[in-house]
Structure 1
Amino acid sequence: MKRRILHYIYTYFLWTVLLLSTSCACETEESPYELNETDRTFITYLYSYNEYKIQATTLATQNGKTATQTVAAEILGDLEQTRTQLQTIATNTRYTLPVAIPADAASDLSTLQNATIASFDITFTQDQLTTINADIAMLENELSHGTEPSVMALAHDYLPKLRQHKVQLTELLGKL
């Protein structure tokens, strides 16, 4: 009986040492998916403002004049594709995406939701142009300082799309 108890204690001790050494090894190993600060800032910024732009652009497809609806529908497809790419990157890098849009974007969305029919298209277009200029600066910063290949590939692919959106919105603003 005494021998059996010692055997259980010894087995328990070995399992404890094994589990502790395994968990310590996992904590000290550097993850191959670790994002640097530039990548984390970029993903957080792009995802949160992309979510805002999806909401605003969806509103434009519903409430805008025909020309605004057309441009907004084209842009919306790119925004949704970017959302999917960011979610994939976050999953692959074990990064948690933000759950809310930034306060300034929420305020802009509220302004857009309360815009009159006469001012909606101009308000939407001007706000999107402002956001796109900031987005372009973030993409260029990511391309200069990012390290995660999938994040940099997204920035590389999305930059021409954003520049095209800027052209479309500038042309639209000129017609309003």
Structure 2
Amino acid sequence: MVRRLAILPTIAAATFATAAAGFAAAPPDLNEQDREFVTALHQGNLAEIQAGKVAERQAHSEEVREMGETLIRDHRKLDGKVKQVAGAVGVSLPGGPGAKQQAELERISAKSGAEFDRAWVEAEIAEHRQDLAAGAKQLSEGSSEQVKQLARDAEPIVREHLEDLEEIRSDEEDQSD
């Protein structure tokens, strides 16, 4: 009987440690907004990387080609953070951009010369504006602090891209006048 009583504290301690470890490893509470944002941010990064590669190959102007390189570099880095957070919070990520993003890239890729540059820049401006709005929505409606931090981390990168793209558009307009 004494031997059994001596084992009980050991069993209780092991049970408590296991339960505590399981609790600590559980993903944080996510709402649907958090899941959608992580997935959309990942797909957006993949689309931006593809768009950057297309610009490197097809751009008429050096400015657009360089912007493509910037998108590839920055969105690869940002997507590394997305993958880390997705793993930490238990969100499965798709393997590629969304169908709508693919279709838009195919539409633009069919163009050439200055027409390609204009279409590419306009599409990228629209995409980056949508990304800023999605980040703001995440900050106001998301529940996961880790996912909100992703939105905060992405915002200056996306804003800088948008400013650069708007400058490229302005330069193109000045040249066509």
Asked if these proteins are the same fold (TM beyond 0.5), I'd say: yes
**Matched-pair identity in %:** 26
CA deviation profile, 1:137-173 (whole Å, cap 9, x unmatched): 1000111122222211111121111111111000001
Q: Which residue of 1 aligns with 2:165?
A: 169
Letter in 1 for 2:139: L
Confirm whether residue 120 of structure 1 aligns to residue 116 of structure 2.
yes
Q: Deviation per CA, 1:34-93: give whole Å up to 9, x if none.
A: 421111011111111221111011111222121111222223221111111111111112
What does residue range 86-165 of structure 1 map to in structure 2 within 5 Å? 86-165=82-161
Report Cα offsets for 1:116-137 as digits up to 9, x if no partner. 2231111110000111111111
Larger Rg: 1
Whether the 8 Å CA contact 1:56–1:112 is kept in 2: the answer is: no
Superposed CA RMSD:
1.8
* CA spacing shift, 1:100–1:139, aligned 2, 3 Å: same
4+ residue runs of structure 1 moved beyond 4 angstroms?
A: none
SS in 2 for 1:41: helix
- Report the residue type matching 1:51 in the other structure: L
| Residue equivalent to 1:37 | 32
Give the unaligned 5+ runs of structure 2: 1-18, 173-177
The DSSP-based 3-state class of the residue aligned with 1:121 is helix
Question: SS state of the match for residue 27, structure 2?
Answer: coil
Q: Distance in 2 between matches of 1:123 and 1:149?
A: 36
Unpaired runs of 5+ residues, structure 1, are 1-24
**Paired residues, number:** 149
Amino acid aligned to 1:58: K
Q: TM-score, normalised to structure 1's length?
A: 0.78
> In structure 2, what residue type is equivalent to 1:31?
A
Residue type of the partner of 1:38? Q
What letter is aligned with 2:49? I
Contact 1:48 1:100 (C-alpha < 8 Å) held by counterparts:
yes
